[in-house]
Amino acid sequence: MTKLDMTPGAQIPRTDVGPQTAVTQLLSSAAYRDTEVEALAGLAGVKLKEGKFFKLLRPSAGEAFSRAVLDRTLGKGRLPLVPSFGTDTRMVVEHCLAAQELRDARDRELMVVTMLTGVLFLPGTLIWLAVFYGRAYFKKSSPGREGFYNTVLVLLAIGLAALLALRPPVAGPFGLYFRVMTLAPVLGWFLAKRICLRSTVELRERWGALVAGSALAATVPKAVPRDDLDKKAAGLRASLERLTVEQETNVQHYAGAKGLLGAGMRWGDFQVVEELRPAEGQVDFRAFHPWDLARRITTRLGSLGQSEVAGGGMPHVAVQQWLVMDIPEGADEIGRPSGPDMDGYRMRDFALQTIANRQTLGTDSRHRTSAQLVLHKGQLVSTVLIGVTVMNNTLRVSVSGHALGPLHSLFTAKPKPKELKVPKTGKFWEERTVILPLVNNDDVVRQALRAPFHKFPTLLSWLGGSVGLPEPFSLRGAWADRTWTSRFKSDDVLFSATPVVNAVMAATVEFLAEHDVNVDRFSNRIGILKSEMQGVRPFKADNYDAG
């Protein structure tokens, strides 16, 4: 996403994404990982689906993550996405496309090797595949005797290969075929290992650079049409643009105890409720609409970035008008309104104004003003919702706080060399660390077998397996950890809410006074609320013990 810096001075285009860069890079790094796919099963809501030949054709964590994200964000007929606050979703998807392109280039080379040294010598290839399948089987069923069984299987295969090479069962051209039948796959394995190692090193470099915070750009040549007839590239570019526009929606969803989808659970609620009475000396107060008060509050919130004390302004406060829709806590998809009230994925201002001014008692759609801060380089998203409600002559101004914590620790893991601790020779009570190769024999076989199917991702998922993402899906909100395990992040959530509440209440009193409303009782209520906020503590505000 490209933004323009509109502060005074030279207008220089900014190509960064502000305070959200770190989280975007961490999520993007998952596309380049070469770890086992089982690592993704530790993420909330992720389901590992094993394929028919999972042991031989299983995907890596990066392959499974990229395929799942691309299918969910760019697939035809996909369900709506929950906004990912504090994250550039398009950039993450572009990195998934870039990682897929790197693997496709590797698979094209591996496919040639597999066809020439594997498929042409299929009987010998099947013998070696039986060995690797047996290794995978005993690794899972008998881990204690895995080494013994592996040695036996390899010796049997080597013995059979030597026998066929020295004494083929037939003479002539078929005899020559039997001689090289079990040797050609070994040559193919050697070539495939070099290809796999080169690809793994490149993927790991990108993984490490993104986790370290490098501004590594993703190149997606597939999204650049070569001419007017390149419909595939044009369609991909349109899907990416659609993804960007959808993330800017102002229609949000509240899912019970899950809180505001994409923004986290509600941790606190502050309300001022009082009857509207005319000020002293006035027969009646001047009529107003809730939208008028909401706009005044919005104007006051816009001044949070300013302070009479140097450095006291709150940075990057985004104030917006939202439509919040209520959905069941267990809902597996979201929906948005349609018709003339909508402009693409956004509800038009006049429609929001209509909802804000109407009586919402008994409805599932409410207007809310949001003040959102993206802090700690995107690892913390603090959102405050402000609601203005009038029932009869009673005005209620509610302020609720929501917090979205840091990403799961899986996304912050850096690439490490593969190591194994073994007992020292002669000192079995001590251990030494052995550095293992980045690509072992099992990885070479797995990638070489997957290569011929890289043009058929659906078939490859059926054969090797895939992962299912949690629904409703938000790339940022799906895998957020708890906020309250970090001292400073917890403090920032609590501290940042106080100026917002103060601004809301000050704007409310000012607005009511201008409309000849008696503000004495409101001022008293606000004073009590501020006293309570001196020792505010987070709690599960959406969990009610009411039977």
Q: Which amino acid is at 237?
A: R
Q: Please report which confidence band the pLDDT of residue 16 belongs to, taking 50, 70 and 90 as the band edges.
A: very low
Q: Which of 474, 492, 482, 473 is nearest to 408 (CA)?
A: 482
Answer whether residue 318 shows pLDDT above 90.
yes
When pLDDT is cut at 50, 70 and 90, the band that residue 15 belongs to is very low
Query: What is the reported pLDDT for 177?
Result: 76
3-state secondary structure of 387: strand
Q: Comparing C-alpha atoms, which of 364, 354, 297 is closest to residue 326?
A: 364
Locus of tokens 């009230």 = 341
| Residue 10 reports pLDDT greater than 50 | no
Residue 163 — very low, low, confident or very high, per pLDDT cuts 50/70/90?
Answer: confident
Give the pLDDT confidence score for residue 217 in this predicted structure. 82
pLDDT class of 473 with cuts at 50, 70, 90:
very high
Query: Average pLDDT of 476-502?
Result: 92
pLDDT of residue 380: 93
Q: What is the largest CA-CA distance in the chain?
A: 118
Q: Is the pLDDT of residue 395 over 90?
A: yes
384 neighbors 322 (Cβ within 8 angstroms):
no
pLDDT of residue 372: 95
- Burial (0-12, 13-18, 19+ Cβ within 10 Å), 332: exposed
More reliable by pLDDT, 389 or 133: 389
> Which residues pair with residue 50 across a beta bridge?
465
CA–CA gap between residue 474 and residue 77 (Å, rounded): 17
Q: 201-205, 214-218, 231-235, 316-320: which range is least confident on average?
A: 214-218
Say whether pLDDT at 280 is over 70: yes
The reported pLDDT for the residue numbered 7 is 44
Going by C-alpha positions, the residue among 508, 102, 501, 490 that lies closest to residue 294 is 508
Give the mean pLDDT of 454-480: 93
Residue 43 · residue 30 · CB < 8 Å: no
Tell me, what's the pLDDT at 9? 45
| CA-wise closest residue to 492 among 403, 409, 407 | 403
| Alpha-carbon dihedral 109, 65, 436, 214, rounded to 10 degrees | 90
pLDDT at 388: 95
pLDDT at 14: 44
Taking each helix axis from N to C terminus, what angle separates 184-211 and 122-141, rounded to the nearest 10 degrees? 50
Q: State yes or no: pLDDT of 139 exceeds 80.
A: no
Burial group, residue 398, by CB count within 10 angstroms (0-12, 13-18, 19+): middle
Angle, alpha carbons 43-49-54 (nearest 5°):
115
416 has a pLDDT exceeding 70 = yes
pLDDT at 6 over 50: no
Q: Is the model's pLDDT at 148 over the cut of 80?
A: no
At 410 the pLDDT is 92
User: Strands 251-254 and 317-326: what pairing?
Assistant: parallel
pLDDT tens digits, 171-211:
767 777 777 777 888 888 889 999 999 999 999 999 999 99
User: How much is the mean pLDDT over the chain?
Assistant: 87
Query: What percentage of residues in the chain have a pLDDT greater than 90?
Result: 57
- What pLDDT sits at residue 282? 85
Q: Please tell me which residue, 121 or 95, carries the higher pLDDT value.
A: 95
Q: Is 89 exposed, middle or buried (0-12, 13-18, 19+ CB in 10 A)?
A: buried
Q: Does the structure show a pLDDT above 90 at 66?
A: yes
> Residue 144: what pLDDT?
66
Structure tokens at 162: 């030597």
Q: Is the pLDDT of residue 165 over 60?
A: yes
pLDDT, mean of residues 14-40 = 81
